[in-house]
Amino acid sequence: MATAPVFEKKNILVTGGAGFIGSFLCEKLLADARVICVDNFVTSEESNIDHLLKNSDFEFIRHDFTTPFDPEAFPELGRFRVKFQGIQEIYHLACPTSPKKFDQYRMQTLLSNSLATKNALDLAVRYRAKLLFGSASVVYGPRPADAHAYKEDEFGIVNALSPRACYDEGKRYAETMCETYHQVHGIDTKIARIFRTYGPRMPLFDGQMIPDFITDALDNKELAIYGDETFTTSLVYVSDVVDGMTKLMSAPVGIGPVNIGSDQDFPIVDVAQRIIEMTGSTARIKFEPPLLFMTPLGVPDITKAKDKLGWLPLVQLDEGLKRTIDYTIAHKAQVGFKLS
């Protein structure tokens, strides 16, 4: 398994580290580790990590992980002493997540779930590092007819030839790769099945709904729901997801996949209305045709996370929305909108 660090702090690699979830993860890990953040900015933003760049324990490398990555070849990583220190943990989160640009990034999505995962796992083998893969609730398939909460031992049903299979089936294949590398090479691989997440730093005007709800409400514009009144969803705040992933990374070998999400099912129209109320907006709600990447998904059974990790989501919806609204107002120039 992962060798102990030579020096006082672990070296941790985060692929997709400039993304929405990845940037919060990097921030948390810097409390007691050195962090190598790798991203190619396909659907992430440099602004997400600007505040981390002055930290001597943080280094950003712009790189497409679908091509092999050798950390020892980058002079800027010299202070991390990777050749001697190695890498102790890898969080593999790199994958485009853009509802409105899903078609544009299909090939990048396909290769992120296959080649990028292989390259991350090969690094884990090289350094005997632990690896956590950021999977998703899509591995279970669409929302079940009886709306039951998905447990980790359910196999799910996914159409491998559907227009969105590069993401849904891609995540399933990546999970298979992680388990196969564990079986063949003996490395400690973890699988976090992450459910719909929200919070600050989500990309705007991209169909993600929650950030767009907030900006439109603040501008008194119509809030667009990509679906109808029956659209319900699980929503978990980003800090809870990061906490769940770090707890999973520290879990014993062989724990298997773990659901990280909220087991509450929220009507999205109620969420939109709550944002209107919290912002004092005069905006109205409108319904738009569904987006391929933004569809109703199942809700997680989080019993395993509670029992095995001592984890459960702590941030209630109203508090999470308030934090996200406050962030949006404070960064209104940076996120690119004007208050009415």
Distance CA 85, CA 337 (A): 44
Give the 3-state DSSP-derived string for the chain, with helices as H, strands as E and coil as C: CCCCCCCCCEEEEEECCCCHHHHHHHHHHCCCEEEEEEECCCCCCHHHCHHHCCCCCEEEEECCCCCCCCHHHCHHHHHHCHHHHCCCEEEECCCCCCCCCCCCCHHHHHHHHHHHHHHHHHHHHHHCCEEEEEEEHHHHCCCCCCCCCECCCCCCCCCCCCCCHHHHHHHHHHHHHHHHHHHHHCCCEEEEEECCEECCCCCCCCCCCHHHHHHHHHCCCCEEEECCCCCEECCEEHHHHHHHHHHHHCCCCCCCCEEECCCCCEEHHHHHHHHHHHHCCCCCEEEECCECCECCCCCECCHHHHHHHCCCCCCCHHHHHHHHHHHHHHCHHHHCCCCC
Residue tagged active-site, from 167, 226, 237, 327: 167
Residue 167 is among the residues annotated as catalytic for this protein: yes
Q: In what order do the strands lie in the sheet with 189-194?
A: 58-62, 33-39, 10-15, 89-92, 130-136, 189-194, 258-260
Tokens standing for residue 153? 């031992």
Distance CA 129, CA 4 (A): 10
Strands 189-194 and 197-198: unpaired
Q: Return the residue matching tokens 């769940």.
A: 244
Q: Which active-site residues does the annotation give?
A: 167
